[in-house]
Amino acid sequence: MPARRYAKIGVENCAYSFDELFTYVIPDALRKAIMPGVRVLVPFGRGNRERQGFVFAVEEMPDTVTDDRAIKSVSSVLDGEPLLNGEMLLLALQMRERTFSTYFSCAKAMLPGGMCLLEKAVGEASVQMLSLGISETAASTLQLTTKQNAVVRFLSEVGSASFREISYYTGTGETVARNLVKKGICVVSDVVYDRRPENLYSSEPSREIVLSDQQSAALNVLLDAYRSRSSETVLLHGVTGSGKTSVYLRLIDFVLEEQKNVIVLVPEISLTPQTISLFSARYGDHIAVMHSGLSMGERRDEFYRIKNGEARVVIGTRSAVFAPLGNIGAIIVDEEQEHTYKSEMSPRYDARNVARLRCKSHGALLVLASATPSVETYARAQAGKYKLCTLSERYGGAVLPQVMTVDMTDRQNVSAFSAVSVPLEEELQKNLNAGEQSILLVNRRGYNTFVVCKACKNVVSCPKCSISMTYHAANHRLMCHYCGYSIPYVEKCPVCAEENICYTGFGTQRVEQDLIHRFPSARILRMDADTTAAKNAHAKALGAFANGDYDILIGTQMVAKGLDFPRVTLVGIVSADNELYGGDFRGNEKTFDLLTQVIGRAGRGEKKGRAVIQTVSPDNLILTLAARQDYEAFYQNEIALRRAMVYPPFCDLCLIWFSGENKGQVKMCADAFFEKLRQNSVNGFSEQGVIVLGPLSPRIPKVNNQYRQKLIIKCKNSPAMRELINLTLKEIYADRAFSAVSVYAVVNPDRTD
């Protein structure tokens, strides 16, 4: 009997409750074109509307086995060759089982953003800019809405701006600007960029790497693990400035000499420019870059350069772990403790776990590098599950910074009009006098972080979220950092109408203004989400600071880690207490990590560094250990707490989130999930040791008009446990009473609050 061919396809926009690999007939005309890894269009559902899908497998069966009249046929093929090979399709299956996501979403995550948007052609790398097409006077004669007039006034002042900038400075949505374009009042133009990602640092000749005895010993451990071809994991743990990068560069040299390839992951886009500069000087055009700051066109081009074998070293943030690189010899995860390696959108994967799976497929070495490794990673190294390399000294004779702790409850230390303490001001003045550079860490962007009426005590909060609004001086608006809602600056209380509004707290904009007032001749650079939204903004800002164009760099966490500026001899932490009392079990770890890392930015050159920590808790043990850069003592203290409270690494966590517009319905859904989980645990899963906390209301119970509930499950992340969660999720999804409630699960989330 002649055989018919069938495709097993993961279809887009398929609900998780009935997601599966759907079977479609492959028409004779498409037999040669359809193969695993290509995208296709298929009819789906009762209306047979065409949807996109990924082919996961192709099977042949005799005509007598199936009735083709009951099976739909593939409509068309979208790719001339597979986008995903066998390794990546298997990885998608593994991710689906571990992240409770659909087949399509897991496969889509492996492609550059935008490649699955059928309605958008990937053209030149460009950004759309908006400007007035008529004069402001002519516009004033037209009947425009208040929001449209705000956009017209803004564009008349600045000339042109991107849609994002218009939204930030006027508080309007993109639709308002689009409607002005339709009316002919505004015009859109495309500013085109070179399709290859820019490297804005000067590419100096590669310098010879001379390793210290400690570094050489660490390299030998890495090489032994690499040569074993057993996909081992090695933790490269070294104090800040110990030369971890030099060690893994030498490892990369060796891997490339053996004709194998390498992926290097960094946690932040802000770290990518320095890394690219370093790697481009050493490996030239053999490197490729992958991160969210690239345009769709740039992402697509880099994807195909890697896929076609034109690049051998891939550098990037979280998504670079999916680079279509063959013959992988090593994957290096720099600053491995960072939360940005975990995706907050479906599929909610951890890039470190994905890297581990890819290394297993290739028999490759996984290197986790950090001065402050996560407690779980260090525990595995201590238990012998990972190999451990330790660099206990700074490279080249450099010493760790001298740290001063400033008690902000002591009035003698507090300046009346500044968030910067008197001792920190004095240290900044010393650096300015000496021609040396300084970095200030401010954990929040904006100007004032708290707005309250002194008359009625009302806190000006976002109507969509359970969070106070932040005042931004740059656009003279109060903004919500969760949903983006904004209103103009207010002087009257929206509740009691009294003119008794108090603006307190400080963010990056406030600190910048304070320093401009205190040091008028200083050259000050601010880096936060507001100043780095434009293309290549990170690279330009950091390049200018590296070249000595600025004296003081003020920034959020993007300036705290991984950056290497030899001229920086002073680091100031404006408020060291933000994470300590947030209610999350990782609060101590995050505080120690952030302080240790930012302190480590000082004194990396020939001159000794200093650091100033401003705090209201000067005797806090975590701050004391961070000031001493004493990771081992921190770890021993933290692991004892985790053991007593049964938190990772002594269990895994599964966090179940519930959200919806109806508060009562969300609570009922969370209660129902808990009861179904209990029943399923008894009926067939009784061997699973499970501790359930909740349902609980999170610290921020409403975000963007969505009320939230959560369940925290302490368990072992085993296949049986994942099947228990999977079964309970599907039962909840099948209950129509909760159709308006969104439910999803996250295994080992970065935070639980």
Q: Measure the CA–CA gap between 457 and 253, rounded to whole angstroms.
A: 62
**What is the three-class DSSP state of 322?**
helix
Decide if 119 is inside a domain.
no
Residue that finishes a domain, picked among 599, 622, 642? 642
Contact assessment for residue 583 and residue 701, using Cβ atoms and an 8 Å cutoff:
no
Q: Sheet with 160-162: list strands edge to edge.
A: 160-162, 126-132, 186-192
710 and 635 assigned to the same domain: no
Residue that finishes a domain, picked among 642, 674, 703? 642
Tell whether the model's pLDDT for residue 80 goes beyond 70: yes
Q: Provide the pLDDT for residue 387.
A: 96
Average pLDDT over residues 670-682: 92
Tell whether the model's pLDDT for residue 69 goes beyond 80: no
Contact assessment for residue 460 and residue 469, using Cβ atoms and an 8 Å cutoff:
yes
Q: Provide the pLDDT for residue 117.
A: 66
pLDDT, mean over the chain: 89
Tell me which DSSP letter residue 465 carries: S
E strand spans, 149-215: 160-162, 186-192
H or E segment at 515? helix 508-518
Which of the four pLDDT bands, split at 50, 70 and 90, describes residue 652?
very high
DSSP lists the bridge partners of residue 693 as: 712
Which of the four pLDDT bands, split at 50, 70 and 90, describes residue 97?
very high
Which residue would you say has higher pLDDT here, 214 or 163?
214
Contact assessment for residue 340 and residue 268, using Cβ atoms and an 8 Å cutoff:
yes
CATH number at residue 309: 3.40.50.300
> How many CB atoms are located within 10 Å of the residue 283 CB?
19
Max Cα distance, the chain (Å): 93
Decide if 202 is inside a domain.
no
Residue that finishes a domain, picked among 642, 672, 692? 642
Which of the four pLDDT bands, split at 50, 70 and 90, describes residue 122?
very low
Q: Which residues contact 356 (CB under 8 A, 6 or more apart)?
A: 231, 233, 366
For 328, the token pair is: 């992988």
Contact assessment for residue 733 and residue 673, using Cβ atoms and an 8 Å cutoff:
no
Which of the four pLDDT bands, split at 50, 70 and 90, describes residue 745?
very high
pLDDT digits (tens, 9 = 90+) for 278-310: 888 899 889 999 988 777 778 888 999 999 999
Q: Measure the CA–CA gap between 238 and 394, rounded to whole angstroms.
A: 8
E strand spans, 378-515: 387-391, 402-407, 437-441, 450-453, 470-472, 477-479, 486-488, 501-504
Q: Provide the pLDDT for residue 204.
A: 62
Q: Which of 57-66, 136-145, 208-217, 325-334 has the highest mean pLDDT?
A: 325-334
Q: Provide the pLDDT for residue 121.
A: 38
708 and 727 assigned to the same domain: yes
Contact assessment for residue 467 and residue 457, using Cβ atoms and an 8 Å cutoff:
no
Decide if 465 is inside a domain.
no
Which of the four pLDDT bands, split at 50, 70 and 90, describes residue 611?
very high
136 and 248 assigned to the same domain: no
Q: Which of 260, 266, 268, 347 is nearest to 309 (CA)?
A: 260
Average pLDDT over residues 84-110: 96
Which of the four pLDDT bands, split at 50, 70 and 90, describes residue 124?
very low
Contact assessment for residue 470 and residue 444, using Cβ atoms and an 8 Å cutoff:
yes
Decide if 350 is inside a domain.
yes
**Cis ω for the linkage preceding 648 (within 30 of 0):** no
513 and 593 assigned to the same domain: yes
> How many CB atoms are located within 10 Å of the residue 375 CB?
22
What sign does the CA torsion over 169, 170, 172, 178 have?
Answer: negative
pLDDT digits (tens, 9 = 90+) for 543-561: 899 899 999 999 988 887 7
Average pLDDT over residues 128-141: 84
Q: Provide the pLDDT for residue 119.
A: 41
Decide if 120 is inside a domain.
no
Average pLDDT over residues 646-670: 96
DSSP lists the bridge partners of residue 653 as: 714
382 and 411 assigned to the same domain: no
593 and 664 assigned to the same domain: no
Q: Provide the pLDDT for residue 1.
A: 47
Q: Measure the CA–CA gap between 508 and 472, rounded to whole angstroms.
A: 10
Q: Which residues contact 704 (CB under 8 A, 6 or more apart)?
A: 464, 465, 482, 483
Decide if 467 is inside a domain.
no
Packing angle, helices 587-599 and 621-628, rounded to 10? 30
Q: Measure the CA–CA gap between 561 and 274, rounded to whole angstroms.
A: 12
Which of the four pLDDT bands, split at 50, 70 and 90, describes residue 200?
very low
Which residue would you say has higher pLDDT here, 427 or 600?
427
Tell whether the model's pLDDT for residue 658 goes beyond 90: yes
Q: Measure the CA–CA gap between 701 and 57, rounded to whole angstroms.
A: 43
How many domains does the chain divide into? 5
182 and 278 assigned to the same domain: no
368 and 421 assigned to the same domain: no
Tell whether the model's pLDDT for residue 715 goes beyond 60: yes
Tell whether the model's pLDDT for residue 675 goes beyond 90: yes
> How many CB atoms are located within 10 Å of the residue 674 CB?
18
Q: Which residues contact 409 (CB under 8 A, 6 or more apart)?
A: 616
pLDDT digits (tens, 9 = 90+) for 447-503: 888 899 999 999 999 999 999 999 998 888 999 988 889 999 998 998 899 998 998
Q: Provide the pLDDT for residue 123.
A: 41
Contact assessment for residue 328 and residue 260, using Cβ atoms and an 8 Å cutoff:
yes
Average pLDDT over residues 227-251: 93
Decide if 466 is inside a domain.
no
291 and 241 assigned to the same domain: yes
Decide if 36 is inside a domain.
yes
- Lowest mean pLDDT across 108-122, 249-263, 265-279, 666-680: 108-122
Taking the whole predicted model, whether its pTM rises above 0.75 is answered as: yes
Q: Measure the CA–CA gap between 638 and 337, rounded to whole angstroms.
A: 15
Tell me which DSSP letter residue 496 carries: T
Which residue would you say has higher pLDDT here, 461 or 63?
461
Amino acid at 82: P
37 and 87 assigned to the same domain: yes
pLDDT digits (tens, 9 = 90+) for 161-181: 888 888 888 888 889 999 999
236 and 313 assigned to the same domain: yes
425 and 375 assigned to the same domain: no
Q: Provide the pLDDT for residue 201.
A: 41
Q: CA distances (Å), 144 to each of 153, 182, 218, 419, 486, in order?
A: 12, 13, 67, 42, 20
Q: Provide the pLDDT for residue 421.
A: 92
Which residue would you say has higher pLDDT here, 713 or 141?
713
DSSP lists the bridge partners of residue 314 as: 263, 288
Which of the four pLDDT bands, split at 50, 70 and 90, describes residue 540?
confident
Which residue would you say has higher pLDDT here, 13 or 67?
13
Domain coverage including residue 140 = 126-192
Tell whether the model's pLDDT for residue 125 goes beyond 60: no
Tell me which DSSP letter residue 204 carries: P
